[in-house]
Structure 1
């Protein structure tokens, strides 16, 4: 398998930074007066005199740091939050180091907010009980239309029903309404 240009550039950039950071760490030891030398290859716990804050320190005066700060700003992330660092790194890795070929389908992400959207509808419309009615409302409601408009009613209804382990009465009512809807649509076609 051939290596993508992005991977080559990334590998080279990491190598350059490793060399640069070794020199920067020497300067940091001298500047901060640390008792022991710092090592880029050892975990922070081994470098007892360095805190996470020091390791993730960014200064807008440095050209390399400006680009990193710009990335945090573009994606509305906080560079002082270690979880935001992890999120940003994982996103770059996912996009930059993906294998060639079609993107894997992420059905879970498309419907990840579905339970919350169903609850919002049920709260606003307490009489909304059938899966079909909920699915229709999700497709037509302006809050959710953009997310679900391209989904077929039957597919969305199946996802809505999978979210609810309601009573047998609800299930029977849903079957009755579904048959009634189908009968009326067939009657209208005739």
Structure 2
């Protein structure tokens, strides 16, 4: 009797999986020859002037409750979003290759009927009769970074709706984006 090891036919259905970013983090850690948090502190967080972060990256069973998540303040989350809004530049210095920013925010799969890049959800929100396109980093509980290129806007939300749907999309569509509707279609 043959055993089907796949939930779906490979390449047909995308599913969010915390194991993927953990695997990427582990590869970076191995190639850098130092803990991921140390590498990120030196090469990403320091240039972004992010000092108040916690990242206990241990890709093993001892870390299963938070899946190696990084903890940032909302202001620092906005700095990360701004870095991507500015195509990897911060204060005149290229911190990330612009080509990587474009590639990571382009669609590569569809997860839960939403286009997905490399760790970015490619979403739109409707405010009235206007549709606004964004890419968004989304964490459990409502921690989200939205980047609206057409508006030159980064929106950060935080919350505590762990393992349930966050109201962030609806709140942004209802209270933030309508302020831009007078400027015309985006």
TM bin (shorter chain):
under 0.3
Query: Between Structure 1 and Structure 2, which shows a larger proportion of helix residues?
Result: 1
User: TM-score with structure 1 length normalisation?
Assistant: 0.24
Q: Which has the larger radius of gyration?
A: 1
User: TM-score with structure 2 length normalisation?
Assistant: 0.24
